[in-house]
Each structure stands twice: as C-alpha cells, then as structure tokens.
Amino acid sequence: MPSKSLYQAFRQALGETRHRVPRTERLAAFYPRHQRCYTSFRGLPAISSSHRPALQPRHQPSPTTSSDVSGRRTIFIQTEPTPNADALKFVPNQRILPEQFPSPFLEYSSPRSTLAPPHPSPLASRMLQVDGVTSIFYGSDFITVTKAADVPWAHIKPEVFSLITEAITSGEQIVNTVERTSSEDAQEGAGSDTLSANDEDSEVVSMIKELLETRIRPAIIEDGGDIEFRGFEDGMVLLKLRGACRTCDSSTVTLKNGIESMLMHYIEEVKGVNQVLDQEEEIAMKEFAKFEEKLRAQKGPDAVASTMGKGSLDTVEA
C-alpha cells in the first residue's frame, strides 16, 4: 500500500481553503447559475446566537411533529427547480433512501427497473406510469422526476405530488431490498458509493475522490443529481452524471468549465475530464449523428440542429 503523506497534505490544504472561502462563494464560482441566488444572501446581517429567540420548555416541539393528535402523518413536500428544465426536485419532510443504505442514490429509467432486484420501488413504478415521466432519481432525502420535453409540468406535477403523498402517509416502504437473481443490477447506483475511500486507491485517486466528495458532490446534489467516479486513466478522470444532471443540456459545460477546472487546479496529475456514456446513451448519440448527416444532405452544410454537443451541427471547430 503506498504512503498517504501526499494525500494527507492535500486534505489539510483542502480543509484550510474550505475555511477561508465561504460555501456560498464556492458554489457561485462553480455554478454560474448560483451567482444570482447566493449573492442576494451576502448583504443580509449576521444573526448572533445571543439575539436568537429561545423557546420556553412548554413551547418545545414534540418529537412527533410529523404526526397530528389523531396519529395521522403530516407530509410536507417542497419542489425545487433544477438547471434542467425537464427535471424537478421534490423534497418531502422525511428520508427517501433507508438509513445505512449502501449507495447515495438510486435511478430508475424503465418500468422493469422499478420491479427487478435488488431494490424495487412501488412508488417509482407508479410515477413512471404517469404520462410523460421518463426517469425517477432517489437521493437520500429527495426525489428528482425527469420528463419528456414535449409534456408540460402542469400535467405531471399534480399526479407526482399525489403519488408521493399517498406513499408516505400510508407508511409504504419507498425502497425495498430483495435477493438478487443475477449479478446485474436493474437500478443505476445499486452498488456501493464510488466516491468512498478504498485502501487500494493511489494517492492521486484518493485526492480526486476527496475533492469530488467535498467540493463537487454537494452542489450537484443541490441541483437534483449526483456523480459517479468511473476511473482515472492516462491523466483523464472518468465521471458519470446522474439525476437531473444526466439529461441536462449544460452537463458538458458543468463537466468542462466546473469540474474539470477545479480538479486540474488542485491536482496537477489531472489533464482533463470525460463523461462516461451508457450503452443506451451511446446508441442515442449515434442515432442523433445519423440525423445530423441526413439533415446536412437535405438542407446543405449550413443546416443547424437543435441540440448542442461535440460534433453536432451547433458546434463550430476551428
């Protein structure tokens, strides 16, 4: 096992930087969209602990604040927009993934995945039956619903609200765990956390994981997604975006301008970042490339497609 002296020095330096730079400023620098959100909080006066109102003992909230006097559960669900216009984050007042769950997220992209081992979900199955819903993402305490671009939220949001409320108030288990029938996972993220420390990791990989876990993952979770580490090869960090970030039009910008810049700034061995595509995504990319070629043949070299991406008609290479 290699020495961890470099890794320990990196963690110490990272910790010192974290104390010097407020999280709001780090997020604003990392995600341009947060610039408007977080700068509005900087001008607010700080509230000292001596001026905070203290509750009298008789006013202390009961430990069972999620239930009323009749024993029924009270459910609150917040919705939060994400950078992806086709993904919406639902945040209920209780956990979604069970305590001590081995993975920080689960993603269901087909009806079959909601029924198959190792982690079937009746709620995800019902939500995927809503017309226009294409995938369901579970974080530890939130649900991200992704829809088709041609279906308005006005048709989907009330149904999703109703399904989540019904599942939680009835006490239904959101995620079940059943015995595997094969070595293949039906759900994305059903394995262990790819950012967790491993004794077999090199010093560079340990530093990459530490930076992803402490600086990058919190911002991506806030946007209704998550991130997977897939490897480090020839100076390139292989990553996979999940949830709202998976189908977001700005995912390439997030990887290159945000994640890649930060990793290269702190770790000199990192030369760049590549996003890993699943088999279905590779097929979709190939089909879109065929569509672009057909469009060029029909409308000429000046034809413009509607989707940005490397090699697409919208991309201009010098």
**CB–CB of 242/228 below 8 Å?**
yes
N- to C-terminal Cα separation, the chain = 46
pLDDT in tens, the chain (318 residues): 445 566 666 667 666 555 444 444 444 444 444 333 332 323 333 333 344 444 344 433 333 335 555 555 678 999 999 999 999 999 999 999 999 898 999 999 999 999 999 999 999 999 999 999 999 999 999 999 999 999 999 999 999 999 999 999 999 999 999 987 765 657 787 778 999 988 899 999 999 999 999 999 999 999 999 999 999 999 999 999 999 988 887 777 778 888 999 999 999 999 999 988 776 666 655 666 677 677 778 776 665 554 444 333 333 333
Burial 218-229 (b: 16+ CB within 10 A, else e): ebbbbbbbbbbb
Task: Decide: helix, strand or coil at residue 208.
Answer: helix
Phi and psi at residue 70, in whole multiples of 5°?
Answer: -85, 0
Q: What is the pLDDT of residue 266?
A: 95
State the CB neighbour count (10 A cutoff) for residue 66.
14
74: Cβ–Cβ under 8 A, 6 or more apart, which residues? Answer: 65, 66, 67, 68
Task: Name 275's bridge partners.
Answer: 239
Task: Name 147's bridge partners.
Answer: 133
Q: What is the pLDDT of residue 74?
A: 75
